[in-house]
Amino acid sequence: MDASYAPPARGNTLSRNKTLSRPERYQAATPLLTGKKERKPLDPWVIFSRIVTFWAPNVILSKCGFRDKQSQQAWREKVTLCFLAFLMGCLVVFLTVGLRPLLCPDSAQTSKLYLNYGESAGYLGILGWQFDVTNTNNTALRSLAEKQNGQDITYLFKRNNSDISGCTDSSIQNFAAVTLALCNNSTANSTCPLDYLNVNDIKTINTIQNDYNITNSTKQVGYDWVELWNLTNYLVFDGVVLNFDPYIAAYPNKLENDTVDSIIRDVLSTDHPEGGKDATRLFFGQDDTKQAVLKCLTQKYYAGHIGKQTIGCFTSDLFNIIMLVTILSIIMVRFFMACIFDWFISHRLARKPKKSKKNVVSPQVIAGGLSRHQAAPWAHQSESGSAIKTVSLDEVGNDLFTVLLVTCYSEGESGLRMTCESMAATDYPDDRKLLFLICDGNITGSGNDLSTPDIAISLLELDKNFPDPQPQSYIAVAAGSKRHNMAKVYCGHFPYQERRVPTILVSKCGTPEEQKKPKAGNRGKRDSQLILMNFFKSVTYNDRMTALDYDLFKKVTHLMNYTPDYFEIVLMVDADTKVYPDSLRLLINCMCNDQLIMGLCGETKIANKRDSWVTGIQVFEYYISHHLGKGFESVFGGVTCLPGCFCMYRLKARKGDDDWVPIITKPEIVDEYSQNDVVTLHQKNLLLLGEDRFLTTLMLRNFPRRKMTFCPRAVCKTVVPDEFNVLLSQRRRWINSTIHNLMELVLVRNLCGTFCFSMQFVIFMELCGTIVLPVAILLTFWLIISSIMNPPTSFSEATPLMMLAAVLGLPAILILITTRKLIYIAWMLIYLLALPVWNFVLPTYAYWHFDDFSWGETRKVEGEGKGDDHGKKEGEFDASKVPCKRWEDWERHRIRKNKRQERKNQPTSYPTHQTTFDDDEKAGLLPSSYEDRASISSDVGHEEFYDYNAPSGTTTAYPPQQYDQYQPVTIEARDIGDDDERNNDRQEE
């Protein structure tokens, strides 16, 4: 295999060899969303939801405001999910509170019932009860206790057979063990030195206690099997210990025709140290012996009980131990892995990359080294004398071309300016970064005088070559007629101090039909991200472009003097985020140090932490979610959520020196992320509320061997909700999207590890923990109160307290280890005081609003109605309104239009500037006779690419794009995947 195709060495996380990731069980990622417009009527989930909500017919739901079938089904699914969450909560309550009383009631708990034989000094056994004789006035009793603690002395008391009611039954009088009078002068046991004792007369027991000054411990004598083996004349019947010392003393020899005597002597002669003196089966073998032992012997010779745990108690304790070990293991592993990441990995991850020792690049990417049919059509512009530059991989170095994507909605001027200034102030060359603003509709934020697009335009120095951009059509992420949207592309620079950062502003203005609506052009944050993703996918694959894509291509090329295919990285931030000056450089360093990193995020801190109690309770939550949660996941390269307010992705990854692997521009990711037919409640929670987490899930599913990581040295600050109703709306979206994304991520089998030692198991535990949060906090308070009132007396009772201490205590230790800032201890205490809000109020509210897909109180805009969301379907989509052409077709159309207008002496809609051509050959276009379906040959084979925007059932192949010098070459189908197992992620025509 060519060395240039060798996979890059793994960076600063745990390596994934076959002990963690098993190629033999690899399965191709199946789409999370099927895109079906209608579900089958016999869908099991639909049937189950209807069964759960049978009490709410559609007629009642329609009168309650749920008039269409989708909203009715969404409500049914919401109730069903809440029902399942309730069942899981009940299960947790049962396992925590109800399992032990069921399996091990108080009557079966040895620690509460028994005081083990010989365990404590100063005790003697009487009638099976342990009596404290330390203060006795009888020296004989004291000496007996000193000789053997806990020994049975019942036979030393005077007792009458008539006092034992069970021994008077005439049917068992033929057994000597029944008729023996313990203090009869005619037997060998002629005297009983202690006073009269009647088990049925409490007065005699009280008299003995008073006479001898002894105290009943209220606990029975407990024996174990080894102790019984050392006691000569003791045996067990059904857990009851019987002392036959007086019987053997009275009848030292075997009696004839006495079945009970035979059983006693057979069992006592057994030489087995563990369980050999159990006579239960022998006594139950015959009816007369059974009656004898049940009625008489268990009262007459009773000395105590076997002190071993019952099966139920053992099962309960075993379950508690397993749960303790499992939960504590996860907690401790997360804690130590987070510490390891902070101590050893994070600093090396963002260190300054070493410069490449190579001074040349592969001959395949040297200018002029490719035939025209093998190059991207715009690659020949540099050969035509234009100002467009080319640069080699070595010249690019560590200053990768980066897009700084800022998604805007209803922010004010101060917030938007702060974000743009922080991006402009980053320690990164201005000619290698492109500020890319996208305004999501003609929105006027609450309290703003100008709309968000107007505010953004006022911040820029617009390029004079493009004074008044025209709206351009594109296919939006929406349903029905909303799929057709239009946007204006403004081109200019953002001035900051002495710097001028190239800037593209995309203002989604909507179609003419929706101009009178309050949120014209609004399609959501996901649509804004997909404008960029679709654009770079079209550039990467030389795919068909919409008018908006082509407009972006021309203006990006004009601004940067480089074609867009030079860009490798995209940094995504929200419009209210302030990025630290060194953050961009640190994130780029991570990307350069490890080519397997496909996405990463920095730490998000709170800018308004002291504004109100609402902001104060969020400080520690933000900190611990990054340094504990993402720190642990980063060790394995599997961060499950890159926050959209501050994250970075690869557009494409280098594969050797002359090839590329599309990452976030991979068609499978773009197509699934741009799903339009969002029908089910599950799909809407994934795509309408949790687009950031869903994008992370898609990346992990499609590239299980690449890494998503966390760079704690890269920091940004953001403004968090300072009012409780806004926090409630925000966390409703976050919690619901988290649950639905974890439901998908837990099914990904390609994550590292096996069974309980896998990221899949950790994700499953996180999913369960999120669902039962309300029950967990109630149990926590119950546990604390019950422990104060009744302190635990055994390990099993202390197990929940140990888990609680670990959960609450380890984060404090992590703070001291990582930041060494004691102020965070204070923030942690504030967070703990707000636990009822975090673990009960917010989750409960979120669960009951599973069918609410709006942004609620978050980022309110003027004219917005309650429950408005961009996922509603209106009308039908007309695809003919959005033309899609290849780049060379758009160029030919522009050139021909220019020629016609020149003949008419009219100005063109595109002003002539340094990157505009008036001839096909000068533009580097392929001849019009060139056949798009021609196969491409190279030294690594050939593969035809398919047009992913083509109508269903068609396959439009075209040559892979290649570039001069730095520009990528021959992106083949086998290169789209992450490793050799993904060679077939495209089909051949």
The domain limits of the chain are: 44-99, 110-309
Most confident residue range from 102-106, 483-487, 897-901: 483-487
Residue 492's closest CA among 518, 462, 459? Answer: 462
User: Is residue 34 exposed (0-12), middle (13-18) or buried (19+ Cβ within 10 Å)?
Assistant: middle
Confidence band for 515, pLDDT divided at 50, 70 and 90: confident
pLDDT at 691: 86
- pLDDT given for residue 614 in this prediction: 96
Q: For strands 569-574 and 402-408, give the pairing.
A: parallel
**Rounded average pLDDT over 406-423:** 93
Task: Output the six-digit token pair for 125.
Answer: 């056994």
Q: What is the pLDDT of residue 30?
A: 55
Q: Is residue 576 a contact partner of residue 411, using CB atoms and an 8 Å limit?
A: yes
pLDDT at res. 728: 94
Please give the Cα distance from 297 to 275 (Å, whole number). 20
3-state SS track over 231-277: CCCEEEECCEEEECHHHHHHCCCCCCCCHHHHHHHHHHCCCCCCCCC
CB 244 within 8 A of CB 264: yes
pTM for the model: 0.76
pLDDT grade for 219, boundaries at 50, 70 and 90? confident
Read off the pLDDT of each residue in 374-387 and give the average, rounded to a whole number. Answer: 56
Q: Lowest-confidence range among 35-39, 58-62, 278-282, 956-960?
A: 956-960
Choice between 934 and 317, residue whose per-residue pLDDT is larger: 317
What is the gyration radius of the CA atoms in the chain, in angstroms? 40
Helix 547-560 with 887-904: angle, nearest 10 deg: 80
Q: How far is CA 649 from CA 511, 635, 642, in A?
A: 31, 18, 10
pLDDT, position 360: 38
Place of tokens 């975090």: 838
On the question of pLDDT at 20 being above 50, the answer is no
What is the DSSP-derived secondary structure letter of residue 95? I
Whether 930 has a pLDDT exceeding 50, the answer reads no
Q: Return the SS3 of 718.
A: strand
Least confident of 639-653, 723-737, 890-904: 890-904
Calculate the dihedral angle through the C-alpha atoms of 166, 168, 171, 174, rounding to the nearest 10 degrees.
110
Residue 486 makes CB contacts below 8 A (sequence gap 6+) with: 471, 472, 473, 474, 508, 509, 510, 511, 521, 548
User: Rounded to whole angstroms, how far apart are CA atoms 284 and 288?
Assistant: 9
Closest-CA residue to 10 (of 583, 631, 706): 706
pLDDT tier at 155, thresholds 50, 70, 90: confident
> Residues near 520 by Cβ (< 8 Å), separated by ≥ 6?
441, 442, 509, 510, 514
- Percent of the chain whose predicted confidence (pLDDT) is above 90: 37
Helix (H, G, I), strand (E, B) or coil at 484: strand
Pick from 893, 525, 675, 699: nearest CA to 29: 699
pLDDT at 404: 97
**pLDDT, greater one: 948 or 347:** 347
DSSP type of residue 310: P
Q: Phi first, then psi: give them for residue 986, nearest 5 degrees.
A: -125, 150
For residue 124, give the H/E element and its range: strand 123-126
- Asked if pLDDT for residue 918 goes beyond 70, the answer is no
755: left (phi over 0), alpha (psi -120 to 50) or beta: left
Inter-axis angle of helices 724-745 and 759-771, nearest 10: 140
CA–CA separation, 574 and 529 (whole Å): 11
Q: Other C-beta atoms within 10 Å of 340: how many?
A: 15
pLDDT digit string (tens) for 109-147? 666 677 777 777 888 888 888 888 888 888 788 888 877
Cα–Cα distance measured from residue 853 to residue 870, given in angstroms and rounded to the nearest whole number: 9
β-partners of residue 495 are: 500
Amino acid 808: pLDDT: 79
Predicted pLDDT at 32:
60
**Tokens 């109508």 identify what position?**
951
The four Cα atoms 905, 911, 917, 919 give a dihedral, to 10 degrees, of: -20
The residues, any chain, with a CB within 8 Å of residue 64's CB and separated by 6 or more, are none
Tokens (6 digits) for 529: 């991200």
In this structure, are residues 422 and 516 in contact, taking their beta carbons and an 8 Å threshold?
Answer: no
pLDDT of residue 906: 54
Paired sense of beta strands 757-758 and 433-439, if any: unpaired
Do 635 and 14 meet the contact criterion of CB atoms below 8 Å apart?
yes
- The pLDDT-based confidence of 978 (bands split at 50, 70, 90) is very low
CA–CA distance, 422 with 594 (Å, rounded to integer): 26
Say what the pLDDT of residue 119 is.
75
Backbone angles phi, psi at 515, to 5 degrees: -65, -30
Residue 679 has a pLDDT of: 78
pLDDT of 731 reads 94
Where residue 19 falls among pLDDT bands split at 50, 70, 90?
A: very low
Name the band, by pLDDT with cuts 50, 70 and 90, for residue 33: low
DSSP assigned state of 9? P
Q: Are 816 and 623 in contact, with CB atoms under 8 Å apart?
A: no
Query: At residue 663, does pLDDT exceed 90?
Result: yes
pLDDT of the residue at 328: 85
CB 632 within 8 Å of CB 342: no
To which residue do tokens 């009383």 refer? 101
For residue 636, give both structure tokens: 């394995």
Angle, alpha carbons 931-932-934 (nearest 5°): 75
What the block records as the tokens of 976 is: 């789209």
Task: Of 51-55, 266-270, 467-471, 790-794, give the lowest mean pLDDT range.
Answer: 790-794
Over residues 750-761, the pLDDT tens digits come to: 777 666 778 888
Residue 95 identity (one-letter amino acid): L
What is the arithmetic mean of pLDDT over 276-290?
A: 87
First and final CA of the chain: distance in angstroms? Answer: 26
In this predicted structure, the answer to whether residue 67 has a pLDDT above a threshold of 60 is yes
For range 521-537, the mean pLDDT: 94
Band of pLDDT at residue 5, cut at 50, 70 and 90? very low
Q: Which two tokens stand for residue 332?
A: 């401790």
Mean pLDDT of the chain: 80
Q: Which helix (H) or strand (E) holds 847?
A: helix 842-848
Q: Does residue 365 carry a pLDDT above 60?
A: no
- What's the residue count for the chain? 989
More confident residue, 445 or 197: 445
The pair of three-digit structure tokens given for residue 597, joined into one six-digit string: 């990193």
3-state secondary structure of 477: coil
Helices and strands of the chain, counted as H and E runs:
37, 28
CA count, 13 A, side-chain hemisphere, 313: 17
Cβ contact 334:185 at 8 Å: no
Q: State pLDDT tens for residues 220-249.
A: 888 888 888 888 899 999 889 999 988 998
Per-residue pLDDT tens over the stretch 844-882: 999 999 988 886 655 555 555 555 555 566 778 888 899
What DSSP state is assigned to residue 30?
P
Q: What is the mean pLDDT of residues 691-711?
A: 92
**% the chain with pLDDT above 70:** 79
- Sequence-distant (6+) residues with CB within 8 A of 126 are 152, 153, 154, 157, 197, 208
- The pLDDT of residue 195 is 73
What is the structure's pLDDT at 385? 47
* Residues paired with residue 596 on neighbouring β-strands, in sequence order: none
CB count in 10 Å sphere of residue 364: 18
Query: Averaging pLDDT over each range in 295-309, 487-501, 908-922, which range is the top one?
Result: 487-501
